[in-house]
Amino acid sequence: MMLKLDGVSYVANDYTPALSLSSEEKCKQDCEHNCSFRLAFWRKDQNACHHMYEVWSLRGGLNQSVFVTYVKVGISPPRETTSRKTVIIVASVLSSLGIVFILGVVFIIVLCQVYRRLSIDKVEEEDDHDDEDVLLDATEGLPARFTYRDVHDISKGFERQLGKGGFGVVYAGQLLDGTLVAVKKLDSFNQGNKEFKAEVAIMGGISHYNLLRLRGFCAQKGYRFLVYDYMGNGSLDQWLFSDDAHRKAQLTWRVRCKIALGIAQGIAYLHNGTRERITHLDIKPQNILLDRNYEAKWQTLAYQDF
């Protein structure tokens, strides 16, 4: 960078002979482009230019219309302002806190996973086969029997709840072959155990297109689970009493007749198609499920044989 000083001359003993150049600008540029030169002096009345290798002293107070000097000066790097330093400090603190937070979240997740696994292991270690379990094991025609760990894995740790009723909570799940299922956890403090034995015994010996298929069950350390096929369209009441115009449009009279026929066929099978006649004690839209094709499926937990 060239610093212009008007009315300033020089005192030096190491300079180039006077050059007759066309302009003051040319004198300045020649000095600026030559790394050996430190100063350029221009005398306007003589069009004389001197370039100096060293700057010993400068003399001011001269006629500004005649004398002008250009001195090379360095450009110092900009100093960091207080605000910039503050930003750096705040960013460092926030980064540290972010790392600590992430590590804390990871630790909590790992701790929860370990706790879940220990809980599952405890259930399996303390499992005692009572008379009820022996009776279930001796019953022929039962669906697959799952352990508590199996049910936990099928439902992905009971992650997604589908609904809740008088007998317990229903969770979404998936079998190893990719089949979507609904996992019903029975409330052991209600009538779950008694109803559970009745349902497994009955469902083990009956099969019909309009009855919800029981894929498996779990009876371990007081835990009672039923694993059913998943019905994509939910229960019938969600369609009959819905305010959704799209749902109402889907439930045409043809579809309604199809659902009614499926309901009747399922009940007829329970009354006449089994070895011992069975009655359904809780006939209502909430207990009728619909698959993706609007085929009606009776869900159980309300059977009693004659």
Query: Known catalytic residues?
Result: 282
Strand bridging mode 144-145 / 214-220: parallel
Q: Which long-range contacts (CB under 8 A, 24 or more apart) does 135-142 make?
A: 135/197, 136/197, 136/200, 136/219, 139/200, 139/201, 139/204, 140/204, 141/204, 141/205, 142/200, 142/204, 142/217
Tokens of 68: 């002008």
Query: Are 279 and 306 a contacting pair, CB within 8 Å?
Result: yes
What value, to the nearest 5°, has the Cα angle with vertex 151 and ends 146 and 156? Answer: 155
Q: What is the DSSP letter of 271?
A: I
Q: In which residue are the tokens 């835990």 written?
A: 223
| 116 phi/psi in degrees, rounded to 5 | -60, -45
What whole-number distance in Å separates Cα of residue 95 and Cα of residue 93? 5
Q: For residue 1, what are the contacts with CB-CB under 8 A and spacing of at least 6?
A: 72, 73, 74, 75
44 is in an annotated binding site: no
Residue type at position 51: H
d(CA 135, CA 201): 10
What is the spatial distance between Cα 265 and Cα 174, in angstroms, rounded to a whole number?
A: 29
**Which secondary-structure segment (H or E) carries 238?**
helix 237-240
| CB 211, CB 222: distance < 8 Å | no
Binding residues: 185
Binding positions for ATP: 185
